[in-house]
A and B are shown apart, each in its own frame.
Chain A
Amino acid sequence: MSAMLELQGVSRVFEKKLDAIEKFARTLGANVSESRVNAVDSASFEVARGEVVGLVGESGCGKSTLGRMVAGLLPVTKGTIRFEGVDVTDARTEAAKAARLRVQMIFQDPMSSLNPRMRVNDIVGEAAVFHGLTTKREMTDYVADLMTKVGLDPSYAQRFPHQFSGGQRQRIGIARALAVQPEFLICDESIAALDVSIQAQVINLFQDLRRDLDLTYLFISHDLGVIEHIADRVVVMYLGRVVEIAPTGELFDGPKHPYTQALLDQVPKLEAGHREYHTIKGEIPSPLNPPPGCHFHPRCPLAGPRCKSEAPRLIHDGPRAVACHLNDGGVA
């Protein structure tokens, strides 16, 4: 398996600079300062061709930012992204533009990512015509074919997005992404807004498309059930850092990082009967002011003195990798 997508030390920093008034206020002694958020802090992993990699974490852990950088929607602050061996880190280069066409993204809320004033025919077909994959004359047939593929009735092609239900709208979003014949799809919480029964339909659709079109996915979700179902490998993030990488089966059967363990423990299970909820204490700290050392140590039941001062490295062991001092000489 050769890596289709390769991330090396990819970081993204968001900075809020002081405006004129704040600068003036500071000269008068006000307590304002520039703020920096390490939204993604040195993420490294690979995605092989044909693989589905799940990216999980709680809100604010940087998983969407990472997805957007891979899609070329956000500039990378540091590190390199390679797509099929070609450096695509700088989104302005020709190589990056060519690669970007093969990487498409499907967003969480189909209503805010579809132009409400365009007909489905144009939403889905526009990009394909622009990139010369079809002609203006043949566009309607091209779109009809795509709509059939994602389970929509092609006779709806002249409708507007608001005339569809949530699940159908998500299918339009998928059809639009598929229109430029991508090989790599980034799904950012693509099913989170859907009802349970519709979710199952869309998950099945993703799996059918993967088989039929030979797609590779980076599947971003906070829902561990969905990830367990669809992913081959899972990358767990916490406060901007990758804390664990493992094949799905091994991760769910034996998580190594205390955060992953806790996260899996929290998932509501269908098993009947009252269950005692064991909870991780506290909440995600503010990324503006992350704790020193291991970001998870204030909530970790196993933390020791070393965790407070030294950030653990991501240590690879075969297909698995974990960033925890427990796996690297202990916490003392």
Chain B
Amino acid sequence: MTVLSVENLQTHFFTDAGVVKAVDGVSFSLEEGEVLGLVGESGSGKTVTGFSILRLVDPPGRVTGGRILFRGQDLAKLPDREMRRLRGNRIAMIFQDPMMTLNPVLRIDTQMIEAVQAHEKVSKAAARDRAVQALARVGIPSPAERLNAYPHQFSGGMRQRVAIAIALLNGPDLIIADEPTTALDVTIQSQILAEVQGLARETGTSLIWITHDLAVVAGLADRIAVMYAGRIVESGPASAILTAPAHPYTAGLLGSIPGHGRRGDRLTQIPGMAPNMAHLPPGCAFAPRCPRVSDACRATAPEVTETGAGRALRCLHPLTEAVA
């Protein structure tokens, strides 16, 4: 069953420097229990996509087009009260920096009990029990005692676990995780990935995992969508994308990752840098950096084409085609 379906989402920022099309025609859908890896470099619009789903985009940004259907319900048409009831309840979000999302002057128990009671009429004791269970589930030792601690008394990895526990409190249908392990050490990152993987499997929660690191989602995601300059340039099953990328940008990203048995070789680098979002080139935004560019690419932006086996692509000269 489809939990979330995003259709042609447009989120634009109206700045003094011009209109920035941070998200420009993004479409994807998510089945129950599915994990989607949303991959892109900074400024590609992946975070704004997540924020748009939760209606957390602040002015000068605005969702200017498209539809977001959550269990068939159009989120844009929902009154603010209804939307608030959804947030943190049916749809939860985990942010990159847990120190920014946890209130530093409140104990963990206060924050967790509040999150439960905001959505459900339960006693404080019952809410506390739920909080203890949630903390235990994300692997925090002696959860009942740790509940009395303040955020600064936890380490970075523990804080992120608390943030994940809070996201799990109300048993959401969808969790949007925005680079939750980027600030953590590898050993802690893999602990958290292991726990999230187990939780998604147990509870059937759908997950959107936003990251800049393809390697992180390689072992976690069912599907991967690669964003560049506000658009999904390639999407499909994780294994297909990783083993046979069709878009030159995806291939470039994979080639840019060091290690993996290519010791000392030159990395295949993508020349140039991410485009200025206020002044995107006409045509394909990746054209100035693309090794397979043609005049047609510079003139018209490629449309989404379905290439079979659940894959979609925005490219006039995919790697599956021989170089002209």
The number of residues on chain A lying at the interface, defined by a beta carbon within 8 Å of a beta carbon of chain B, is 45
Contact of B219 among A222, A249, A262, A274 (CB under 8 A): A274
Interface check B45, CB cutoff 8 A: no
In the bound complex, do residue A229 and residue B239 qualify as a contact, i.e. CB atoms below 8 Å apart? no
List residues of chain A with CB within 8 A of the CB of B191: 277, 279-280
In the bound complex, do residue B155 and residue A283 qualify as a contact, i.e. CB atoms below 8 Å apart? yes
Bound Cα distance from A229 to B197, whole angstroms: 29
In the bound complex, do residue A224 and residue B186 qualify as a contact, i.e. CB atoms below 8 Å apart? yes
In the bound complex, do residue A272 and residue B194 qualify as a contact, i.e. CB atoms below 8 Å apart? no
Nearest B residue to A267, CB-CB: B186
Closest CB in chain A relative to B216 CB, distance in Å: 5
Contact of B186 among A200, A222, A276, A278 (CB under 8 A): A222
Interface check A58, CB cutoff 8 A: yes
* Residue in B185, B213, B271 with the greatest tally of chain A CB atoms within 10 Å: B185
List which A137-195 residues lie within 8 A (CB) of chain B: 165, 167-168, 195
Bound Cα distance from A269 to B266, whole angstroms: 19
Bound Cα distance from A113 to B257, whole angstroms: 26
Closest CB in chain B relative to A275 CB, distance in Å: 4
Bound Cα distance from A229 to B219, whole angstroms: 21
In the bound complex, do residue A279 and residue B238 qualify as a contact, i.e. CB atoms below 8 Å apart? no
List residues of chain B with CB within 8 A of the CB of A224: 186, 259
Interface check B214, CB cutoff 8 A: yes
Nearest B residue to A57, CB-CB: B185
Q: Mark contacts of B210-240 with chain A using CB atoms, 8 A cut-off: 1 yes-contact digit, 0 otherwise.
A: 0011111011100000000000000000111
Interface check B262, CB cutoff 8 A: yes
Interface check A248, CB cutoff 8 A: yes
Bound Cα distance from A167 to B43, whole angstroms: 14
In the bound complex, do residue B258 and residue A225 qualify as a contact, i.e. CB atoms below 8 Å apart? yes
Bound Cα distance from A200 to B190, whole angstroms: 24
Bound Cα distance from A168 to B216, whole angstroms: 26
Closest CB in chain A relative to B311 CB, distance in Å: 14
Contact of B158 among A229, A274, A278, A283 (CB under 8 A): A283
List residues of chain B with CB within 8 A of the CB of A203: 258, 267
Closest CB in chain A relative to B300 CB, distance in Å: 24
Bound Cα distance from A224 to B197, whole angstroms: 23
Interface check B104, CB cutoff 8 A: no
Q: Mark contacts of A273-315 with chain B using CB atoms, 8 A cut-off: 1 yes-contact digit, 0 otherwise.
A: 1111111100110000000000000000000000000000000
Interface check A230, CB cutoff 8 A: yes
Chain B, interface residues (CB within 8 Å), range: 35 or more
Interface check B188, CB cutoff 8 A: yes
List residues of chain A with CB within 8 A of the CB of B262: 229
List residues of chain A with CB within 8 A of the CB of B239: 272-273
Indicate whether A200 sits within 8 Å of B270 (C-beta atoms), given known contacts A229-B262, A268-B216: yes
Interface check A209, CB cutoff 8 A: no
In the bound complex, do residue A273 and residue B269 qualify as a contact, i.e. CB atoms below 8 Å apart? no
Closest CB in chain B relative to A42 CB, distance in Å: 23
Interface check B294, CB cutoff 8 A: no
List which A229-278 residues lie within 8 A (CB) of chain B: 229-230, 248-249, 262-263, 266-278
Bound Cα distance from A192 to B193, whole angstroms: 20
Bound Cα distance from A204 to B267, whole angstroms: 7
Q: Known pairs A200-B255, A284-B187. 16 more at Cβ < 8 A? A: A59-B185, A195-B212, A196-B41, A197-B252, A201-B270, A222-B185, A224-B259, A229-B263, A230-B258, A267-B259, A270-B257, A271-B242, A272-B243, A275-B218, A277-B219, A283-B158
* 10 smallest beta-carbon distances between A and B, as pairs: A225-B259, A229-B258, A277-B194, A200-B256, A272-B239, A268-B215, A275-B219, A200-B267, A195-B41, A272-B242
Q: Which residues of B contact A (CB under 8 A)?
A: 41-42, 155, 157-158, 185-191, 193-194, 197, 212-216, 218-220, 238-243, 252-260, 262-264, 266-271, 273-274
A-B contact list, 28 entries, CB within 8 Å: A167-B273, A168-B273, A196-B41, A196-B256, A200-B256, A200-B257, A203-B258, A203-B267, A204-B269, A207-B266, A224-B186, A228-B263, A229-B258, A229-B263, A266-B187, A267-B186, A268-B186, A270-B214, A270-B215, A272-B240, A273-B219, A276-B194, A278-B194, A279-B194, A280-B187, A280-B191, A283-B157, A283-B158
